[in-house]
Amino acid sequence: MPFAAFSGASMAVLLVVIVACLLAFWLCICFAMLKWNEIRYSRRKGLPPGKMGWPVLGQTTEFLKHGPSFMKKQRAKYGSVFKTHILGCPTVISIDPELNRYILMNEGKGLVPGYPQSMLDILGKCNIAAVHGAAHRRIRGSLLSLVGPLVIKDELLPKIDKFTRSFLQNWHGKTIDIQETTNEMALRVSFDQIVEHEPTALYEVFKPEFDKLLVGTISLPINIPGTNYHHGFQGRKRIVKMLKQIMAQRRASAIPYDDMLGRLLRSKDSKYILSDEEIIDQIITILYSGYETVSTTSMMAVKYLHDHPKALEELREEHFAIREKKKPGEAIDWNDYKSMSFTRAVIFETSRLATVVNGVLRRTTDDMVLNGFTIPKGWRIYVYTREINYDPFLYPEPFAFNPWRWLDKNMESHCYCFIFGGGSRLCPGKELGILQISIFIHYFVTSYRWEEVGRNEIHQFPRVEAPKGLHVRISNYHD
């Protein structure tokens, strides 16, 4: 018995020693990998300061999980320009307003779009954010022909007004998730503009695939079942298959479809000739960009207006003044929309404070010197514009919801206003998005009151979202 007891105790000690040795060995391997990655990049002279993190993964996990706090911590350590490795790419991050403005206004001078592989694979290599030079000018021209001011005024506005009025009917007495609702609204509006006459059943099949695509755009490009990238890539494949089928059917038909897809298919009759691959990627891009910005800004406008009664009161006055001039049920027209100055201010302030778009990516086409640092060829530069939105010199009391600041029209065009991009990359759908949100706000605030239900948590990075929804109880305004 004593021998057996001694043997058992010895085995337990031996097991602990083995585990400790394995753990120590594993930690040594991890440390060596980290050290090797830093040595690998330290050989390059003139790089900005910063850490590269793990091989392959870099600092992606910390970047996606902690976003703004990660940026602030790196800035405190290394300054407003630093290096890292995120989303599969060695990347220089710039939080410097002057440098950011220079980069955005000087595309082509050694800088081209530099979006991560996951976004290129899922949105398509021909999407407007990925191309540059003559291809960008041609595709941008094509998109502007679909969403330019005259098209918005004469064709899109009446359709969006009709859809929105129908969508907001019969909400009295309901408790809804405004996040889910604005998501549905934004995607359906864009979908109907693109393929207006397709059966409703197509949308029901399309939406779950689009939801997968959306999540996969910000992920590591690891194509293993179960990863966000894999789900997103599979979603894209199914969407492409659907679109190809619709395009083939339309080409075989004599019907002259007058929606966005119909116009893109007739691009050979215009100066903006697009291939089928380019057409598909533009459709996906229109859906993706309009969906996220319009839905999130609409949701956050509802949130901020709920929390700031004075702003809501002034907004309602603006919209009831419009309704007083119209017959019951009469649609909004272009002059009504152009008179919504405070509404536009609310949208800009919501976009600034919620920061739906955190920044843009560029890639160097050759070694180049910026702010005294040498950025190697092929590296990404993340123009991080988020912090500019909270600069107290540009926006006094930057964390306060103050739409009145935007009533000064010069605010929209000041040098560091990158809410909708900048330079030749200014969002071509900017005005269409503002119009969609304005019409939603008009019918929502003139029809209903609302109050929040439960504890509604908002995450600000990498996407602005309410993980458990943003629930509100709706009642008729005049009850």
**pLDDT category, 3, cuts 50, 70, 90?**
very low
Does the pLDDT value for residue 349 go beyond 90?
Answer: yes
Does the pLDDT value for residue 40 go beyond 60?
Answer: no
Does the pLDDT value for residue 26 go beyond 70?
Answer: no
Feature table: binding site: 427
User: Cβ(469)–Cβ(179) under 8 Å?
Assistant: yes
The counts of H helices and E strands in the chain are 16, 10
Does the pLDDT value for residue 33 go beyond 50?
Answer: no
Does the pLDDT value for residue 173 go beyond 90?
Answer: yes
Mean pLDDT of 302-309: 96
Mean pLDDT of 161-184: 94
The predicted pLDDT at position 8 comes to 59
For 437-475, write each residue's pLDDT tens digit.
Answer: 999 999 999 999 999 998 888 888 777 888 899 999 999
The predicted pLDDT at position 309 comes to 96
Domains along the sequence of the chain with CATH: 60-476 (1.10.630.10)
Q: How far is CA 135 from CA 141, 143, 288, 365, 381, in A?
A: 10, 12, 20, 17, 21
Does the pLDDT value for residue 423 go beyond 90?
Answer: no
The predicted pLDDT at position 23 comes to 56
Mean pLDDT of 218-222: 77
* DSSP three-state, residue 381: strand
The predicted pLDDT at position 9 comes to 59
Q: Flag the least confident range among 29-33, 253-257, 371-375.
A: 29-33
Sign of CA dihedral 201, 184, 326, 152: negative
316 or 201, higher pLDDT: 316
Feature table: binding site for heme: 427
Does the pLDDT value for residue 258 go beyond 90?
Answer: no
* DSSP three-state, residue 226: coil
The predicted pLDDT at position 356 comes to 81
The predicted pLDDT at position 286 comes to 86
For 81-102, write each residue's pLDDT tens digit.
Answer: 998 888 778 889 998 888 988 8
The predicted pLDDT at position 13 comes to 60
User: Cβ(303)–Cβ(182) under 8 Å?
Assistant: no
d(Cα 390, Cα 219) in Å, to the nearest integer?
26
Sign of CA dihedral 297, 298, 299, 302: positive
